[in-house]
């Protein structure tokens, strides 16, 4: 076409041969840019004449774009045809370079596989040449011309190219685009309803993997939860039919999407997944064992979330006998087949990463003529997922935990801080040193690796470390023979290390507590309180520094609107158990929670009342110690400091009256009050001033405790409750005799 333009110009055919070469040189220089010409040229794969001819036939432009009416034009076309081909190829190369696709000789297959075939009649024509020349031979204009040509070709795709294998590929590509381009569950529902039977296994798994994200993007007016359940059930039926055709990685992403969306697969789908995981590979091992660690980690994490959902459903109860039977069968497949199969695959991966082989498994290939080399290394994210899944499932399998602890301890210095802290937190939550007997020295290894850079770590890493330390310190008994015995006993050594970790961790965490969420603050406060009682029994303050006071200030600053009543009660109870006796804090907390007491459930109200009761007990004990010291120094000191301190930390008459009314309402409601909650409510209310009708509330609470076994409590606590009940006129109640008899 460029040659025809020159032939028809004022210079005529005689200048065609030289002018066409000059025009193409200008085009090449403009497209490639001057700076590219100064750099070493990479080896590019130009299209041959045969390839150009086949491209012309494929695009329907078989006729030459040059004039054939004169011999001069024919000879010019023969001379300049390769140049035009090179020009077009360089235009394509420029566009591909702009897209970030490598065109070097070593990776030319990437270029060929992503090459967009353009129609020459859409690129080399008079209008485009005039447009490019008037722009001053701008490269951006040439790029726009190519893009427009590609768009027009895609829009004008003929139906004949949809036939045969190419047609089925185009259909699957369009289905994939439809699945990936859904913006919410409403669009996904339409795709599944209209095209569900045409989706292959990969697309079904892809749709399931996107469920939880689409649920978040669905408007609240469309009932996202109900819509997700309907779409998920339809997709689960399709996946059940194609489970054997799906790859392990696709199955893992699909199950993870269901778990994130809060959906539990049916029994038939679980059995299909179990069959797929346990299917024998060509090497004789189960397919789950031969899957890559990331896939196994995703399967393990999804299955642990299913176990959590299953337990939640069992606690809430299943409506109907048929539903109950289905739920029991579902739980059986999940707990007895799927979870053991995936856990065995995880154990095999951990052992192979350690250089060992699981019992009864085929040896892993090491490469050579028999096949490619197999990489048995464990990605850090997979190790983290393994430990998190085992912790969520409350699984204390010694084999898996021992292998995971050994691997993490061996490479503790190489692990990323967030991975090391997360593994230690999961290890502590699942049972700590009781899992492996402390033999792997995981606590020492992680602390040795992270202690030098503790103050430079992210707040989430320090948070995980703090939870791991308080859990291990609270659950590990101290050695009976002192430091020498602790050094010889791995369990005692781990507990001693955890106690040493608490001080530096609290110092590093204190200035970063404001960046924690309300849920994290509640979890942290609960853990600190557990360690406080487990280590010293409240006899002495632990090295928490200013952390409890900062938690109390955050509770007042954020208040009920951000924390919520349940978290407020949990943090307050933790502060009370840690002996936080600031009168200003407790008075402000009572005023802030007064409007919410009448709406609290039994658990929340029990925690709130227990917070005030424990704070008053701590203040009373401190006052008694101070009084004993002052009495020894001056015998004429005051005689009732404990009662005054306990009275100062009571929630006030208004809160007590509303609490009595709320407790009576809960006792009369169908939901009732749990035995543990009733016991702690009775402990608190019996020691505070009684409002009008308070005796009836205490009697009803005592009646609810007589028929059931008493919650575990120390003899001192039981004796104090019995004395308080005698003080309010309930000394003849059967519960008093039961309390005194259990002492």
Q: The domain containing residue 147 runs over which residues?
A: 2-157
Question: For residues 236 and 263, what is the distance between their CA atoms, to the nearest angstrom?
Answer: 10
Q: What pLDDT score does 100 carry?
A: 39
pLDDT at position 91? 64
In a domain, 108, yes or no: yes
- Which among 399, 401, 408, 484 has a CA at the least distance from the CA of 444? 408
CA distance 610 to 604: 10
pLDDT of residue 527: 92
Q: Which structure tokens are listed for 414?
A: 């190489």
Residue 641 is assigned to a structural domain of this protein: no
| Residue 72 placed within a domain | yes
Closest C-alpha to 356, from 393, 394, 317, 410: 410
Alpha-carbon span 103 to 112, nearest angstrom: 9
Structure token pair of residue 561: 């609107």
Non-local (6+) Cβ contacts of 292 within 8 A are 249
Q: Are 602 and 666 in contact (CB under 8 A)?
A: yes
CA distance 160 to 325: 54
Backbone angles phi, psi at 286, to 5 degrees: -60, 150
Residues 6+ apart with CB under 8 A from 475: 431, 432, 434, 534
Domain assignment present for residue 297? The answer is no
362 falls within a domain: no
Per-residue pLDDT at 647: 64
Q: In 382-402, which positions are buried (b, 16+ CB within 10 angstroms) versus exposed (e)? A: bbbbbbbbbbbbebebeebbb
Q: Report the candidate in 550, 724, 541 with the shortest Cα–Cα distance to residue 646.
A: 724
Whether residue 261 contacts residue 185, with contact meaning beta carbons closer than 8 Å, is answered with no
pLDDT for 211 equals 94
**Residue showing tokens 């990437």:** 110
Return the pLDDT at 613: 94
Query: pLDDT at position 677, please?
Result: 93
Q: What's residue 45's pLDDT?
A: 37
Q: CA-to-CA distance for 479 and 494, rounded, in angstroms?
A: 11
User: Quick one: pLDDT at residue 707?
Assistant: 78
Helix-strand-coil percent breakdown of the chain, rounded to 5? 75, 0, 25
- DSSP-derived secondary structure for 43-61: P--PPPHHHHHHHHHHHT-
6 in any annotated domain: yes
- Rounded CA separation 150/73 (Å): 29
3-state secondary structure of 262: coil
- Look up residue 336 and give its DSSP letter: I
Q: Which residues pair with 286 in a beta bridge?
A: 280
Mean pLDDT by 10 residues, the chain (743 residues): 42 44 50 44 39 45 39 40 60 52 34 42 70 78 75 49 51 85 91 89 94 92 93 94 91 95 92 91 82 94 94 70 55 90 94 82 49 70 95 92 95 95 96 90 95 95 95 77 62 89 92 94 93 59 80 94 95 93 93 95 95 90 72 52 63 94 93 90 93 92 85 85 90 88 63
Q: How many domains does the chain have?
A: 1
Distance in angstroms (rounded) separating the CA atoms of residues 683 and 662 = 16
Residue 39 lies in a domain: yes
Q: Residue 332: CB partners within 8 Å, gap ≥ 6? A: none
- pLDDT value at residue 648: 66
- Within-domain flag for 17: yes
Q: Contact at 8 Å (CB) between 653 and 689? A: yes
Give Cβ neighbours of residue 60 (< 8 Å, ≥ 6 apart). Answer: 119, 158
Could you please report the per-residue DSSP string of 119-173? PHHHHSSHHHHHHHHHTTS-HHHHHHHHHHHHHHHHHT--GGGGSHHHHHHHHHH
CA neighbor of 395 nearest in space, from 354, 437, 360, 435: 435
Output the pLDDT for position 567.
96
State the Cα torsion 418-422-425-427 to the nearest 10°. -130
């Amino acid at each position: 076409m460029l040659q025809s333009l020159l032939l028809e110009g004022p210079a005529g055919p005689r200048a065609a041969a030289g002018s066409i070469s000059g025009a193409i040189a200008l085009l090449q220089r403009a497209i490639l840019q001057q700076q590219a010409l100064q750099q070493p040229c990479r080896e590019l794969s130009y299209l041959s004449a045969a390839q150009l001819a086949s491209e012309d036939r494929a695009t329907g432009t078989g006729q030459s774009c040059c004039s054939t009416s004169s011999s001069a034009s024919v000879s010019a076309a023969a001379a300049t045809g390769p140049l035009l081909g090179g020009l077009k190829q360089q235009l394509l190369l420029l566009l591909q370079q702009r897209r970030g696709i490598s065109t070097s000789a070593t990776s030319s297959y990437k270029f060929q596989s992503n090459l967009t075939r353009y129609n020459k009649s859409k690129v080399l024509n008079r209008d485009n040449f005039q447009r490019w020349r008037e722009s001053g031979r701008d490269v951006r204009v040439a790029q726009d011309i190519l893009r427009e040509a590609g768009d027009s070709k895609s829009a004008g795709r003929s139906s004949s190219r949809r036939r045969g294998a190419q047609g089925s590929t185009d259909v699957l590509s369009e289905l994939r685009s439809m699945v990936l381009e859904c913006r919410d569950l409403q669009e996904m529902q339409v795709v599944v309803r209209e095209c569900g039977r045409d989706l292959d296994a990969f697309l079904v798994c892809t749709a399931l993997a996107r469920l939880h994200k689409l649920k978040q993007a669905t408007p609240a007016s469309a009932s996202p939860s109900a819509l997700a359940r309907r779409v998920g059930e339809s997709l689960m039926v399709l996946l059940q039919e194609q489970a054997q055709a799906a790859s392990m990685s696709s199955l893992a992403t699909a199950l993870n999407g269901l778990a994130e969306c809060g959906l539990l697969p049916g029994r038939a789908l679980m059995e299909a997944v179990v069959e797929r995981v346990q299917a024998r590979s060509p090497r004789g091992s189960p397919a789950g064992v031969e899957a890559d660690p990331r896939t196994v980690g995703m399967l393990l994490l999804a299955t642990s979330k299913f176990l959590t959902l299953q337990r939640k459903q069992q606690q809430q109860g299943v409506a109907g006998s048929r539903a109950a039977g289905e739920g029991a069968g579902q739980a059986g497949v999940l707990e007895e087949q799927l979870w053991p199969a995936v856990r065995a695959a995880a154990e095999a991966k951990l052992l192979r990463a350690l250089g060992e082989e699981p019992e009864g498994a085929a040896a892993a290939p090491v490469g050579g003529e028999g096949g490619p080399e197999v990489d048995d290394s464990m990605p850090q994210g997979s190790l983290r997922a393994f430990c998190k899944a085992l912790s969520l499932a409350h699984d204390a399998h010694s084999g898996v935990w021992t292998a995971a602890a050994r691997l993490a301890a061996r490479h503790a210095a190489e692990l990323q801080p967030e991975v090391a802290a997360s593994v230690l937190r999961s290890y502590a939550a699942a049972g700590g040193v009781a899992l492996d007997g402390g033999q792997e020295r995981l606590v020492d290894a992680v602390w040795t690796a992270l202690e030098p850079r503790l103050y430079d770590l992210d707040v989430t890493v320090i948070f995980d470390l703090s939870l791991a330390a308080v859990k291990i310190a609270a659950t590990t008994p101290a050695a009976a023979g002192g430091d020498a015995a602790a050094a010889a006993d791995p369990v005692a050594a781990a507990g001693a290390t955890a106690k040493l970790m608490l001080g530096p961790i609290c110092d590093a965490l204190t200035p970063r507590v404001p960046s924690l969420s309300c849920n994290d603050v509640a979890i942290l406060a609960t853990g600190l309180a557990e360690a406080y009682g487990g280590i010293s029994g409240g006899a002495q303050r632990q090295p928490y520094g200013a952390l409890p006071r900062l938690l109390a200030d955050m509770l007042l600053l954020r208040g009920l609107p951000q924390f919520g009543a349940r978290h407020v009660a949990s943090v307050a109870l933790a502060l009370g158990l840690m002996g936080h006796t600031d009168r200003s804090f407790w008075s402000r907390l009572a005023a802030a929670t007064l409007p919410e007491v009448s709406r609290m459930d039994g658990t929340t109200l029990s925690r709130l009342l227990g917070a005030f009761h424990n704070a008053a007990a701590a203040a009373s004990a401190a006052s008694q110690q101070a009084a004993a010291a002052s009495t020894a120094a001056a015998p004429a000191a005051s005689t009732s400091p404990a009662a005054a301190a306990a009275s100062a930390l009571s929630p006030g008459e208004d809160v007590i009256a509303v609490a009595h009314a709320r407790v009576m309402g809960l006792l009369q409601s169908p939901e009732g009050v749990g035995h543990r909650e009733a016991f702690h409510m009775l402990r608190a209310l019996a020691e505070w001033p009684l409002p009008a009708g308070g005796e009836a509330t205490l009697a009803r609470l005592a009646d609810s405790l007589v028929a059931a076994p008493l919650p575990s409590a120390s003899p001192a606590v039981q004796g104090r409750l019995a004395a308080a009940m005698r003080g309010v006129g309930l000394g003849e109640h059967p519960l008093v005799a039961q309390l005194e008899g259990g002492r």
